A and B are shown apart, each in its own frame.
Chain A
Amino acid sequence: MTANNPSPVFTTQFDTSNQEFVATGVFRPRSIADIADDLLLLRDKIEKVHGVFYVNLKRVTHMNSTAFGALARVLVDASYSRPELKIVVLASSVVTWATQMFRHLGELSPNISMEIYDSAFYPGQAFVEDKSFIPILRTQTKMTWRHERTILPRHGLRGGMAIADICCGIGDFAMLVRKEFDPARIVALDHSVASLDYARSVAEDFCVRDIEYTFGDASQMLFESDQFDFVTCRHSLQIFDRPELLLRELYRICKPGGRVYITNEKNSHCLGEPRAETIQWTYNEVAKLFRHFDMDVEMGPKGSRLLLDTGFEDVRIESFMVTNHDGDPQEFADVIEAWEDVYAGEMSARRGDSPEFVARFRQGFRDHIFAALHPRGYAGWPIWAASGQKPL
C-alpha cells in the first residue's frame, strides 16, 4: 500500500515466503492515522506466522518519532502476546539514525532483536578488501583507463555532467574522470570502508576536494531519484549475486535522458600465446570458481540484455582487450600474479579444492604471465563496456 499525499512516499508489503514485512521510503506521517493501514498489515501478518518474523527497514530512508513509536508499540505488543515468536528488525549500516533508534527495541522485549545488514553484500568484496590488493586495483584501472578514456565519450560522457561512480572501490576511476571530463559534480559510492578511506587519503594528498565519497549499499542508495547525468558501475555487477537489483538502483538515480555505463569481464576469454591451452583451461575454471560463490565473471557480453531488461533504451555495447602491449608488460604480469594469489589461493582454498587442482589452476596463471613477459608473446584480458539511456 502507498501513503496518500500529503505524507512523503512510502510503501509497505508482506513477503509471505520470507515471513518479512518490508517497508521502503520516507516515514514521516503527521499522525498515526496516516500509517494506520500499514500498522494493520503488520499486526495482521505477525499474528499469522510462526518461528521468526522479519521487519525489513533497510530501504527506509527517514522515519519520524510518530512512526517509530507506533511501529515499536506494535512490535512490543506482539512480542508479549506471542512470546514464542522471534521478531528480527533488519536495518542498514548505512542509515545511522535507523541503527541508533532500533537498537532500543531489544530493551523493550527480549524477543525483538536488530540485525544490521552490512557484510556479505558483495560475495566477492571480502576477497579484494585486503590492503595488499590496492596497488593491483590501481594498476588495473590504469590499464583499462587507456581504453576507457576514449570509449566513455562514445557512451555519452562529456564535460559539465553530474556523475555518480557506484562501487567506486579505491576511487581512482572517479579521480581520472574528474581530471579528464571536468564534471559539474562527482559522487563516488562504495560499500567498503577501507577502500573509501584509501580514496579519501589519495584525494587529500592531491588536494582534491570536489569528489563526494560516500559509504553506501549500491542496491539501496540514499540518493534521491533522477539525480545524475551519467552513472558508472565498473566490474561490480559481475561480483554481485543480484545484478538486476543493482541495475534498478542505477536506473533510479539516473536522470531521464541520462546514461548508465557498466563494464564487466568474460574471464573465460582471457587469452595468451604461447601456452594458450593451459591458460584457456585456467580461465574457464576461474569462471566456474566465481559461479561457486554466486558471481558471474562471464557477464560482459550480457550487458546489453541486462540494460534492456532494466528498461534502458539506445543501448550501446563494445568490447576492448587490455593487453601486455598496451604499456609495461610487467604491469600486466603483476595483475595476473595478484589474480593467482586470490583465485588459486584464498578462493580455491575456501571452495575446498584439492592440491592437484590448485597446482594445475596456478599453472595457467603462470603461463599467462609467461606469455605477457615473452618478447614475442601476447596476453589479453577482455572487457565489455555497455551503456543505456534512461527514457525521457
Chain B
Amino acid sequence: MADAAFEQLLNLEMEMATFTSDWLHCDQLSNYVAQMVSHDRRDPLRHSNLLSSALNELLEMSFRSEAQEGELACVFYRHEQIERIELSFPCPSQQHRFYAELVRGLKHGGKLANYVKVIADETAPLEQAILLGLAVNYDAEIELRASAAEALTFVVDLPLERLLT
C-alpha cells in the first residue's frame, strides 16, 4: 500500500524477459520515464536528468538479477519535493536476503564512510555501491518491502527538487 500522502504519477510494467533482452532498455526506460515524471517540476530538464540517473541505477540492479520469468513493475509517486519509486522485480530468496542485508546496512551510521570505502574497493558488490550511492548522493531513503513470492520491492524516496536547489 502506498503512503496516502503520495500521489501516484505513473505505473510501468514489463515482462522480465523483454526487459533483460537488451541492456539499453535501462537507459531508454530511465530517460523516457524521467522526462514524463519531471515535466511539471521547477526545472524539468535538470530534474529529469537527475531522476534518470537514480532510476537507471535501480533498473540496472534489477537487470542484473537475471530473472527471466515474471514482471518488472515500476510505480512512481510524488509528495511535495519527493519522488518515490517502487520497483518490483523477480528475485530468488537467497538474493532477497542479500538485498535485505544491504538495506539494513543503510540504517546504520557511517553511510558516507562506507560509500567512500566501497568506491575504492573493486571487490565490493556493485549492488552495495548502487544503494549506498543513492543514499549518499541523492539523499535517498530506501526500504525493502515484502512482495509476492520470489519477488521483492524497493521503495526509494528521492528528494530531487531539494537537491536541485
Contact = CB atoms under 8 A, between A and B. Distances in A.
Interface string B5-29: 0000000000000000011101100
Contact of A100 (B43, B46, B163): B163
Interface string B140-165: 00000000000000000000000110
B83 interface: no
A73 B120 contact: yes
Contacts of B119: 68-69, 72-73, 104, 108
A187 B112 CA distance: 37
A120 B163 CA distance: 23
Nearest to A96: B50
B52 A65 contact: no
B56 interface: yes
Interface stretch (A48-56, A141-149, A213-221, A234-242): A213-221
Interface size class, chain B: 35 or more
B115 A222 contact: no
B36 interface: no
Interface in A84-99: 94-97
A8 interface: yes
B95 interface: no
Contacts of B26: 28
A70 to B, nearest CB: 8
A216 B163 CA distance: 16
B162 to A, nearest CB: 11
A102 to B, nearest CB: 10
B56 A62 contact: yes
Contacts of A222: 45-46, 49
A200 interface: yes
Interface stretch (B73-81, B98-106, B125-133): B125-133
A107 B119 CA distance: 11
Given A8-B24, A28-B56, A69-B122, A97 B50 contact: yes
A28 B49 contact: no
Contacts, number: 94
Contact of A69 (B42, B44, B60, B129): B129
A26 interface: yes
Contacts of A7: 23-24
Interface in B22-70: 22-24, 26-27, 39-40, 42-46, 49-50, 52-54, 56-57, 60
B27 A28 contact: yes
B2 interface: no
A187 B45 contact: yes
B137 interface: yes
Contacts of A96: 46, 49-50, 163-164
A97 B45 contact: no
Contacts of A68: 119, 133
A72 B120 contact: yes
A325 interface: no
A104 B49 contact: no
A30 interface: yes
Given A97-B54, A214-B44, A214-B46, 17 more contacts: A6-B22, A61-B49, A62-B49, A64-B60, A65-B60, A65-B126, A69-B126, A76-B120, A96-B46, A96-B50, A100-B163, A104-B112, A108-B116, A108-B120, A215-B46, A222-B46, A223-B45
18 contacts: A28-B26, A64-B56, A65-B126, A65-B129, A65-B130, A66-B60, A69-B119, A69-B129, A76-B120, A96-B164, A100-B137, A101-B133, A104-B112, A108-B120, A212-B39, A214-B46, A216-B46, A223-B45
Closest 10 CB pairs of A and B: A100-B137, A214-B45, A97-B53, A30-B23, A65-B129, A65-B130, A8-B27, A107-B116, A212-B44, A6-B24
Interface of A: 5-8, 26, 28, 30, 61-66, 68-69, 72-73, 76, 94-97, 100-101, 104, 107-108, 187, 189, 200, 209, 212-216, 222-223
